[in-house]
Every structure is written in C-alpha cells, then in structure tokens.
Structure 1
C-alpha cells in the first residue's frame, strides 16, 4: 500500500501540473494551446533521460519519441489539448486539480491529461529496460479539433517504415478496452435570413440540457430518448406551436459539445403589436428534427448507431449558420450527404449545406479476440480490474492508424463529465494505469 501511495502522489503531482496549463482548443475564438505544455512534457521526459522531438503542424504541437531497437511493436498516443469551459457551471477552478475523496477534478483530468501522465510514467519505467522491440510514443495538441497531428505522425511512420503492429490510444475512459469507435463528420447549413413584420405577442423561453444518467456535454455521449438536447427541444417546440422566431442565443462552445442552454425569443402570432421576425431562422430551427433523425446507412455495426447533434449556431453575413456533429461507422460521406440533401430539399430548399470529414481517417473496429485486446484483459485481471471490450461513443486518433492495418484499442482511467462541467478522474484507477501500460507493452513486445 505504501508503494501505491507514493506512486499515486507522483501521478497526481504530474497531473496537477498538466491541468494547470490552459491548453484549450477553440478555433472559433482563435484559441489554441501554446508551446508551454508540450515543452513541459519534453523537459520532464528529458530529466528522466528520455529523448524526444517537438513536432509542429499549423501552429499546433506534439511530442514524439522512441525507445528500444528493432521493429516498432507498439505506439502509445495521448493528447494534452482540452475543450473550452463554461466556468459558470463549474464548482471548482477548471484549471486547478482539486481532490475530493477518490475523485480529482479539473479540465482534462479524464480527457486526456490523466492518460498523458500515465503514459509518461509508463515510458519512464520502460526506458530503464532492455526492450526486445521498439516502443513509440506521442502526445499531441490538436485531438479536440480533428487530430491533424496524429494524421501527420501516421504518415511520417508510414514513410519511414516505422508503422507499429499495435497501438494503445490512451484516450478512453472506464478502464475497459475500447475496440469500436465511429468516425466524425461536420455538417454546416447556411440559411438566408428572411425578416418580416408580423403582429402578435413577444415571448421568451429557455431550453436547458438534461442528462439524467451520464452527466456530460460530449455530443457523442448524447443518447436520444434519455437525454434532452436544447436545440432539438427548440425545434420540437416550434413544430408544435403557431410562432415565428425573433432570435436565438445560447451557450455555444464547440461543434462536439452540446450547449447547456439556449434562449428563444419568438412571436406568438395573433393580435398584438407589430414585431420583426425571421422566417428563415424559423424554418431552419424547425428542420432540426428531421435532420437529427436522418436514416443514414453505415458500413459497420455500432452500439450507438448514428449520432446527429446540432451544437453550434451563429449569424454571419445575413445568413443563419447551423453546425451538426455526426458520428457513424462509415468511411465515406457520400451516404450522409445524399440523405441530408434530400431532407434539406424538402424542408429548407434555399439553404446551403457542406460536409467536412478527413478522408484519411477511418473508424476503430478491432475484433475482440485480437491479441492486443486479450492481452489487455489479462493484464487488467492481474490488477483486479475486471473488464470486457466495449464501444466508445466518441471518435479518437486511433482512426488515423487503423487504415494502415495497425491493431488498436483506446483506453483510459475511470472518470466522468467528459467535455462537461466538473470533469473528474477516478484516482484508484489512475494510480494503476502506468503499470498497466508498462505491462501491456512488455507482453506485446515479447509476442
């Protein structure tokens, strides 16, 4: 127990330092992580005698390194960037690690700085050993906005003939090997404003998120039928009311973060004063219901099916802009584009639609009897961590390596409130994670 307490103290100290770096990625506001956090990671690893290099791509940074000799066997990857915070919803300072009982609170504690700290400590122990194969590791700073650095590293390893046989993408949660994850697609719909004056009564109503089972704001975790999405609720309200929209405001943060609250100003048509409304915005918001229920065909099975959430709204250049986050087991966006265009032609024919996805990214789909999965399960059992392979709701950087035949899983400690307020990591699971990663690497290297 004393050894575990010392190890816990070290990992919590390292995690505390990492959380204090405000590595927020928010392209809409021009915010990106500085070089400070990756420089800190490099300095710590260097103090342990581990050489690394700093990789830069489009102003974003990653730390990359190698241990051992011979054929690359396994790659560890994690990310230090985090999503924006709505400080009003936090009970603690988001960028300070606050320990309460067995939980350590802070932005990035679970997604994904707890994993960064664990990989670093595992690499430290592996660096002391004579390895029978090469261990690669990388910590990236743009996973939350698409993972271009992961894609760049995948191409670099391909070109250098260093593509590993296995990958542990340390970007999971729950202490369970994640063997399936869907690909993400971004959809932007632009609807022209159409302002007219109508008579009626001006009213205002707030619509709030409700996640009664799993507290999160991550779009991929949103479960229709259980959770309430404010924007979908607005659409349902409009489709069942004789009203016209005046304006829409909300706590919009990011394309894959469900807004916690939106405020709808609308005119209840009838007798009353003359007020300017926007019929374009009214039609756009009404179209959300058929859009999120689009019957998109996929290539592989998923526990979560297809997720479609409308998480960002803005007004730009006399057009209303709505952004949807889509998760599906599909490489191609053709089926998605065909289906959504049909819905738009029927509901909002004068709207424009664009769909964005990374053609070089796939999805994670590793058979449960694959060696990396069975090895992880055996190692976990040795640490009294009973687990079974599962599907993870969100996408991850492993999708850039699976198209090259790399056998991958995503993994991480127990925790909660991913992308939401009061994000936390479970300390008991975190303290064994470095040893889990070390033992899995050693087992896979030996084959």
Structure 2
C-alpha cells in the first residue's frame, strides 16, 4: 500500500510524484481504457493524513477529488488533473510508469502533464492548511482532462449554482514556470468518406513517414508548428498529391485525437506493367484532401502566438467508411465559423466527404489581462524565487476554459519539463521543488 511520508516540502513533492506516476491513469476511450478509483482515493487519503479533508466524486465513470480549506467567501480555486495520455512503450528509454531520475530530470508519463502539478498542489495545500487563511480555497483534481474535461465543466456549474465561484483560479496544468494567460479553444472535426475500390495494373509499394520536431520534442498536437515540424500524415498527403499515386491502405501509430502519430505507412500503387491490384479511390481522395484541409483559412476572434492549427491525428475504418479525426486550435468560440470554412474546403477537395465538427459549448478560451492581480502576484512570487519570467501563451487548451466564461480570472502554470504527450516525458526536478512554494505564496498574497 502506498503512503506519503513527508519530510520537508522538497522531499514531499518528488516522493509524491513517484507514487502518483505508478498509477496507470491512462485515458484512451478508443480502447475503453479509463482511470480507476485507485489514484483519486490515494490523493484523498494522503491529503487526509495531512488533515486536509477531501471527497472523491464520480461522474459518468470518471473520478475526481474535491475539497476546500479556510473560511469565508471563496477567493481561489486550485485545479490539476491526474489522468494521462496513452504511451508507446517501445519509444521510451525508461518504464513510463516508474519515475526514473537522471540528473535533474525525472522521467515518467504524467511527470510534467500533470502529476507533477498534482503533487505540488497537494504539498501546497498541506502547508496552507496550517496558515490563517483569509478566505476559502477550493481545490479539485480530475481524471478526465485529457478527453475533454467533463468533470471540470460540472465543477464550474456546481460552484456557479452554489454561488461559490472564486474570483481567481490557478489551473496547475502548465509548463515552464511562466504564468499562462492565453490559451486557444480546442475543436474536433471528423471527416468520413466511403470506401471505393477498383482494380488497377501496377506494382505495390510502401513508404513510411515519420514525425520530426527538430526544436521542441513533443507529440502534443497543440505544440505542432507548421513550417518547423513535420507531421507524418500531412507529409503522406503531400506525397500522394505530388506523385499522383492511388492508395491501397494506410497504417500508423495512432494514439489519440490530440497526439501527433509518430509514424504512418502508406501502401500505394506505382502504375504500369504488373498484376491488377485493388486500390481505394475513397482513401486516395481523403489523403489528397489533407493538405488543403489543414490550410483552411479559419478566422480567430483574438490574437494568438500560435495562430490557428489543424492537425490530422487519427485514422480508422468504421462502418465501411474511412474516418479521419482532426484536432483544431483557435482563439475562437464559433463552431459555426469553423464548420463553414471546413465545409467550403471539403466541397472542393472531397465532394463525397462528410464533415462533423465537435466542441464543448460550455468551454471558452483563456484570455486574462496581464494587469490582473493574480498575474502580477504570480510574477512577483516567481521572481523572488529566482525566475526571470513574463506572462505567456500556452499552446494547448486546459480546464480553465470552463471557468473563464463565468468571469473567473485564471492563470495556468506548472514546472519546467518536456516531451508532453510524447516518449520520455520529463519534469525538471529543481523546478518541481519550487512549485509548492509558488502555489502557497500566490494563495497567501491573494
């Protein structure tokens, strides 16, 4: 049985992270995999050992932990998530579910996204519970952020109904020890096209396309930067368009809608002498359409460092149709505008294609003014701890998007690390050890 044996804040957070990483809290709906009650129960039990009361709750088969400390009107909400994305173990140099320390880096799935933050907030709560806090601090740890954050949405609704929405929110789901004050909203799009097979003479060939991220090693779709990074499916589409080859089949290491596949293998036909081979015109046209689709001129409502990004990350065959799932990031709340733009592209490039655009209507984007008190206090605390920082934009979406539509002033923040959603994910240990102090001090100064 796991238990926390704290001996100082620095020791607490790394030891706690090591224990949290061992819980395989993978969220993979395509395979019917979701986190069990084991990890949230451990979080609750550990907090209660530290005399911080908390409750485990469940919605739609997903678990979370919710509690509060202090008295009076709620002034601050801490939130972090303990679920993680799937792994390809063969791509890892270490066991993804055992925290492995090498120098100043601690490797493990969730080490930086987002169990390092879970551990840091837990330790901060332990310390804050000893203080004479002015106002109430609410905290929540959720187990479904990686598949949309339904639990966060329900918490926001519940706090709104109970008139307990706090003025401020620290969403401990960031990276780099910098206050994140802008994040785009996430949308999902599904394109379906019928299977259409014919026979053509020629020779079967195959080509494998691999992801290439030369500057920032990650598989997170929100971090993908066109013009710098190479997406294997976009590269395969460009190959089909340039070589004008009919496609036989497509395979790849597809993990999740917001995870760029590490590689895809295209089987195609080189026309000419040879045997008659069955090719798929539906799949061929779908592959050809990827390049124009990811360049669709989607309009945004506000400025973003990352602009608009569209990445095709999942492919499958379902009900006699080829299915392509896209991850879309934009500083926009308009599903209708995105749908209209994509339909225009598909009508020209894939006439038989069907389009479905999805988003959580209750979610918005994060856009907090750098003049807000929570931003200024966070910068003050970080600079006192030796960090030279300024407010930044985060690439991915986060659960803070469910609270900003209600007027909650939020920042996202977290320790330094890398390889989010990719192999060999890590957190920088000296950075992680600072985070409980960061969270505690911001809470006290607010």
- The interval holding the TM-score normalised by the smaller chain is over 0.9
Post-superposition offset of 1:272: 1.6
Structure 1 residues 319-359: Cα deviation after superposition (integer angstroms, max 9, x where no partner):
00000000000111111000000111101111111011000
Match of 1:285 in 2: 287
Provide the C-alpha distance between the structure 1 equivalents of 2:130 and 2:230, rounded to a whole number of angstroms: 50
SS at match of 2:322: strand
Provide the C-alpha distance between the structure 2 equivalents of 1:139 and 1:7, rounded to a whole number of angstroms: 20
Provide the C-alpha distance between the structure 2 equivalents of 1:295 and 1:117, rounded to a whole number of angstroms: 41
The answer as to 2:167 corresponding to 1:165 is yes
- TM-score where L is the length of structure 2: 0.98
Match of 1:23 in 2: 25
Determine if contact 2:219/2:419 at 8 Å carries over to the other structure: yes
Determine if contact 2:9/2:436 at 8 Å carries over to the other structure: no
The answer as to 2:211 corresponding to 1:209 is yes
Provide the C-alpha distance between the structure 2 equivalents of 1:6 and 1:133, rounded to a whole number of angstroms: 26
Determine if contact 1:242/1:268 at 8 Å carries over to the other structure: no
Match of 1:379 in 2: 381
Match of 2:427 in 1: 425
Provide the C-alpha distance between the structure 2 equivalents of 1:82 and 1:115, rounded to a whole number of angstroms: 13
Match of 1:195 in 2: 197
Post-superposition offset of 1:426: 0.4
SS at match of 2:113: helix
SS at match of 1:65: strand
RMSD, aligned α-carbons: 1.0
Post-superposition offset of 1:50: 1.1
Match of 1:34 in 2: 36
Match of 2:101 in 1: 99
Post-superposition offset of 1:9: 2.3
1:354-369 alignment runs, 5 A limit: 354-369=356-371
Post-superposition offset of 1:131: 1.1
Runs of at least 4 residues of structure 1 off by over 4 A? none
Provide the C-alpha distance between the structure 2 equivalents of 1:161 and 1:242, rounded to a whole number of angstroms: 60
Aligned residue among 187, 197, 216 for 1:185: 187
Determine if contact 1:253/1:259 at 8 Å carries over to the other structure: yes
1:316-335 alignment runs, 5 A limit: 316-335=318-337
Alignment size in residue pairs: 441
SS at match of 1:354: strand
Provide the C-alpha distance between the structure 1 equivalents of 2:11 and 2:276, rounded to a whole number of angstroms: 65
SS at match of 2:85: coil
Post-superposition offset of 1:385: 1.1
Is there any run of 5+ residues in structure 2 with no aligned partner, and where?
1-5
Match of 2:13 in 1: 11
Provide the C-alpha distance between the structure 1 equivalents of 2:173 and 2:52, rounded to a whole number of angstroms: 22
Match of 2:255 in 1: 253
Determine if contact 1:398/1:408 at 8 Å carries over to the other structure: yes
Determine if contact 2:9/2:123 at 8 Å carries over to the other structure: no
The answer as to 2:289 corresponding to 1:294 is no
Match of 1:276 in 2: 278
SS at match of 1:358: coil
The answer as to 2:436 corresponding to 1:434 is yes
Aligned residue among 129, 135, 150 for 1:133: 135
Provide the C-alpha distance between the structure 1 equivalents of 2:343 and 2:274, rounded to a whole number of angstroms: 38
Post-superposition offset of 1:5: 9.4
- TM-score where L is the length of structure 1: 0.98
Aligned residue among 91, 96, 111 for 2:113: 111
Provide the C-alpha distance between the structure 2 equivalents of 1:323 and 1:105, rounded to a whole number of angstroms: 30
Determine if contact 2:12/2:123 at 8 Å carries over to the other structure: no
SS at match of 2:285: helix
The answer as to 2:398 corresponding to 1:396 is yes
Match of 1:231 in 2: 233
Provide the C-alpha distance between the structure 2 equivalents of 1:194 and 1:175, rounded to a whole number of angstroms: 51
Provide the C-alpha distance between the structure 1 equivalents of 2:272 and 2:185, rounded to a whole number of angstroms: 46
Structure 1 residues 24-80: Cα deviation after superposition (integer angstroms, max 9, x where no partner):
000000000000000000000011111111121100011000111111000000000
Structure 1 residues 155-212: Cα deviation after superposition (integer angstroms, max 9, x where no partner):
0000000000000000000000000000000000110000000001110100000000
Determine if contact 2:189/2:325 at 8 Å carries over to the other structure: yes
